[in-house]
Structure 1
Amino acid sequence: MNALHVTQARGRPVEHPADRRAALEAAFTRHDWTPGPAVGEGRVRLTEEGADRLAGVAAELHPAFGGDVAALNRALVRHGAVPSLHGDPPVLAFHRPGTDLVDAWAADACTALAMVIGVGQGRRLRSCEADGCELVFFDVTRNASRRFCGLSCQNRAKATAYRARRRT
């Protein structure tokens, strides 16, 4: 989601790759993830248009990390999120059989976010609090107190606060 939607990360502008499809496929390989519902013997391939649509889905889901449940509910409906068993052996997914690749991914992602919120862990879906950073993350700290996406943003925010205190 972060790679497809944010315009600023860690205090710097983000340049989105010219070839989103290739960037997504590289990310899938990096994370050892085989995307897509199986169709016949092969897998459905991501198209250029599908990669662009996924960027729209990322933008659509971004507000859920700030607690916008209404936006998440609209996305669940729009992408047809319903529990369903697919394949042999059956695998639980949250999209209808035959759904196109982007809507399948979107429905599954929407459902995952809804499940996190629904089990009372929504406060762990966070947006980085540093100026100039729009990254979102899942806070895995014991007391759900993480405020920044990483050390670079935390250090920038602390240095900015220190300089502000020194000026006064």
Structure 2
Amino acid sequence: MLFAHDTECSLVAAAALVNTAGSSGEGLPDIAALDAFFTSHSYSGRHEHTEAELRAVRALRPRLRRIWYAEVDEIVSIVNALLREHRALPQLITHDTEPYHLHAVPRDAPLATRIAVEAAMAVADVVRGGELRRLRICEHPDCDNVLVDLSKNRSRRFCEAGCGNRAAVSAYRARRAAARS
């Protein structure tokens, strides 16, 4: 494990949230989709199941996406702004079956606040560890998704939307066409 478990989970969730606003359409079209996102990324605490909450979570996406494109000083500015805005106060917490990990806002804080702060805390760990190159953009030419490369050898190139398979099929077809020529 490269980072603490909660850091990795927050990074993956942040990338997944950013990718819900990709070129393939709206990935959080309704409250049911937000409910599924909440569950699939193991969020706990307050979840209102409202349109207002959905709008607040969607509103985070451009700020979080910027992290994948920015230089380190701008990333630090984004992280610090999110932490200040939401009055983050990190504390060690244990709940459910999770071991001690950091929470920087109360569990009853709005979902968008918790997502923003958890993402900011995770990115802070990435910056402190000098591992910003692990925050990448999918290399498939038709994709603008972001990804977190948690592989040991920093070799992940494609997002989880099937781009790796599409690239492999394209390369295979190109080799076959070249062999026939």
- The TM-score with structure 1 as length reference comes to 0.69
Aligned-pair identity (%): 28
Unaligned runs of 5+ in 2: 1-16
Q: Report matched runs for 1:147-166 at 5 Å.
A: 147-150=157-160, 152-160=162-170, 163=174, 166=178
Equivalent position to 1:49, from 52, 62, 76: 52
Q: Report matched runs for 1:55-134 at 5 Å.
A: 55-79=58-82, 80=84, 82-85=88-91, 92-95=102-105, 100-134=110-144
Alignment: residue pair count: 155
Match of 2:27 in 1: 16
For residues 151 and 22 of structure 1, what CA distance do their matches in structure 2 show? Answer: 20
Richer in strand (by share):
1
- Aligned residues of 2:57 and 2:112 also touching (Cα < 8 A): yes
- Aligned residues of 1:82 and 1:96 also touching (Cα < 8 A): no
- Aligned residues of 2:105 and 2:117 also touching (Cα < 8 A): yes
Q: SS where residue 82 of structure 1 aligns?
A: coil
- Aligned residues of 2:28 and 2:58 also touching (Cα < 8 A): no
CA positional deviation for 1:98 = 7.7
For residues 37 and 110 of structure 2, what CA distance do their matches in structure 1 show? Answer: 20
For residues 156 and 47 of structure 2, what CA distance do their matches in structure 1 show? Answer: 37
Residues 73 and 49 (structure 1 numbering): CA distance in 2 closer, same or farther, change over 3 Å?
farther
Q: SS where residue 102 of structure 1 aligns?
A: helix
Moved more, 113-122 or 79-88: 79-88
CA positional deviation for 1:25 = 0.9
For residues 131 and 39 of structure 2, what CA distance do their matches in structure 1 show? Answer: 29
What root-mean-square deviation, in Å, do the aligned CA atoms of Structure 1 and Structure 2 show?
3.5
Question: What amino acid is aligned across from residue 21 of structure 2 in structure 1?
Answer: H
